[in-house]
Amino acid sequence: MPATVIVGAQWGDEGKGRFTDLMSKDTELVVRYQGGHNAGHTLVVDGESYALQLVPSGVLYEHITPVIGNGVVVDPRVLIKEMDTLERRGVSTARLKLSGNAHLILPYHQELDAVSERYLGKNKLGTTKRGIGPAYADKAARIGLRVQDLLDPSIFRAKLDIALREKNQVLTRVYNRLPIDAEEIARIYLEECRPRLEPHIADTVSLIHTALEADKLVLLEGAQATFLDLDHGTYPFVTSSNPVAGGACIGAGIGPRHITRVIGVAKAYATRVGAGPFPTELTDAVGNHLVEVGHEYGTNTGRRRRPGWIDTVMLRHAVRLNSMSELAIAKLDVLDDLDVVRVCTGYEIDGRVHTDLPYHQSDLHGAVPIYQDFPGWKASLGGVRERGELPQEAAVFLDFVAAQVGVPISMVGVGPGRDQYFVWTSV
């Protein structure tokens, strides 16, 4: 059976978690393939809200095996806390599998994330300060520690000592911080975390391939998003992994031929957290309306998200980067009360119209969006469960977005609840 990727088509928080949960009904494995606890994926089921950071969004279904793939960076303390919280709420995490090849986030990664942001001053990226960038940097520099190192205390200690030799120099001499104690890390990671995580550590590549070979559906759940991608996003205002669909191959350990469906998730508008270019950003009352009605405050850090209109220049580019087969649109209901809804179709840059994303990022910083305006529907969509129940104005808006982006819209969210969606086109 083929694999399906769910990928953020904008700057994150599009509703990947809720669509992953939806798609999990017919799935065997749900695999997180990159990122770490910078992600915050919210699911609302029977009025109960679950905010997941590392545990894949399929966990609420008992038939699912949730898998944390090799491409993820894992802070074991955070993972255990998340598992405990789920267990307390009656959600079993017994089936969770954690790749032995996933890299560990260590306390110095978090500290370095925070101090390097401080040193960037007004040029800071606005990271989540979770240690994500420093952990991936160590992975690339080949001085990272992996989950499987927890199983071999002498190797764990040796690698930790090597890493700390450099980290403590940097922390004390460059950033004027206190050195980090190896003993304390070894105690927490090896004595507290290891016994709890050991039953979950697995060869996830084998697990995924066994499922594919048995004709089971594997769902690959992206975190962050296309325009936060290290290679394809608005660098340097990006995360340090590859959220794009290609990243799923690497972060799960499968070849591209297994992936036959790529669902790009976008809001009916757009948001961004942290710094970086955002051509359709709104700093007016409409922007405030989107933030308040859409509850646009980070699941994870509580930060106010920057609001803006939906941008089909970026979405067209996201289709290319991800081989997106379809779009899932979330939060259409957030536009319910607006008189006018806008769709960005192009940019004016130095007097010229561009309908493709400019290659040079300086151009993006100066891009003036060109909009097509649509009358609002001024009706509550929260109860819509099929295409036919949608007001004409909302249908025109969605059809226009799909035509601009060039792929069908398959599902549309009209509220955070599990059942608050409808199928637009069967893909």
Give yes or no for a contact between 67 and 56, defined as CB atoms under 8 angstroms apart. yes
Q: Nearest CA to 221 among 10, 85, 71?
A: 71
Q: Which stretch binds ligand GDP (CB under 6 A): 62-70, 206-214, 352-360, 410-418?
A: 410-418
Radius of gyration of the chain (CA): 22
The single residue among 299, 301, 361, 372 that binds ligand GDP, judged by CB under 6 A, is: 299
The single residue among 40, 247, 308, 416 that binds Mg ion, judged by CB under 5 A, is: 40
Report the 10 Å Cβ neighbour count for 400. 16
Distance CA 135, CA 111 (A): 11
> What is the x/- site pattern for ligand GDP, positions 317-336, by CB under 6 A?
-------------xx-xx--
Residue ranges of alpha helices (H) inside 153-306 are 153-169, 182-186, 194-197, 204-213, 245-252, 285-293
Distance CA 121, CA 286 (A): 30
Q: Does 14 bind ligand GDP (CB under 6 A)?
A: yes
The single residue among 274, 287, 307, 308 that binds ligand IMO, judged by CB under 6 A, is: 274
Q: Which stretch binds ligand GDP (CB under 6 A): 13-21, 75-83, 276-284, 386-394?
A: 13-21
Q: Does 10 bind ligand IMO (CB under 6 A)?
A: no
Nearer to ligand GDP, 10 or 65 (CB): 10
- Annotated catalytic residue 75: no
Name the 3-class secondary structure at 325: coil
Q: Measured at CB, which residue is nearest to ligand GDP?
A: 413
DSSP string of 197-240, one letter each residue: HGGGEE-HHHHHHHHHHTT--EEEE--S-GGG-TTTSSTTSS-S
For residue 202, report the phi and psi dihedrals to the nearest 5 degrees. Answer: -150, 170
> What is the x/- site pattern for ligand GDP, positions 21-60, by CB under 6 A?
-------------------xxx-x----------------
Which amino acid makes up residue 142? R
- Residue from 21, 37, 41, 232 carrying the catalytic annotation: 41
For residue 287, report the phi and psi dihedrals to the nearest 5 degrees. Answer: -60, -45
Q: Which stretch binds ligand IMO (CB under 6 A): 73-81, 123-131, 157-165, 251-259?
A: 123-131
CB of 8 to Mg ion, least distance (A): 8
DSSP run (H or E) holding 262: strand 259-267
Q: Does 7 bind ligand GDP (CB under 6 A)?
A: no
| Total interface residues for ligand GDP by CB under 6 A | 21
Nearer to ligand IMO, 65 or 224 (CB): 224
Q: Does 306 bind ligand GDP (CB under 6 A)?
A: no
Q: Does 138 bind ligand GDP (CB under 6 A)?
A: no
- Residue from 13, 75, 138, 333 carrying the catalytic annotation: 13
Beta bridge partners of 201: 98
- Annotated catalytic residue 113: no
Beta bridge partners of 342: 373
Q: Does 14 bind Mg ion (CB under 5 A)?
A: no
392-405 and 312-322 helices, crossing angle to 10°: 50
Distance CA 219, CA 228 (A): 21
Q: Does 414 bind ligand GDP (CB under 6 A)?
A: yes
| Cis peptide, bond prior to residue 369, ω within 30 of zero | no
Residues that bind ligand GDP (CB under 6 A): 8, 12-18, 40-42, 44, 299, 330-331, 333-334, 413-416
Which are the catalytic amino acids?
A: 13, 41
Residues that bind Mg ion (CB under 5 A): 13, 40, 299
Residues that bind ligand IMO (CB under 6 A): 8, 12-13, 38-41, 125-128, 130, 132-133, 223-225, 228, 239-240, 273-274
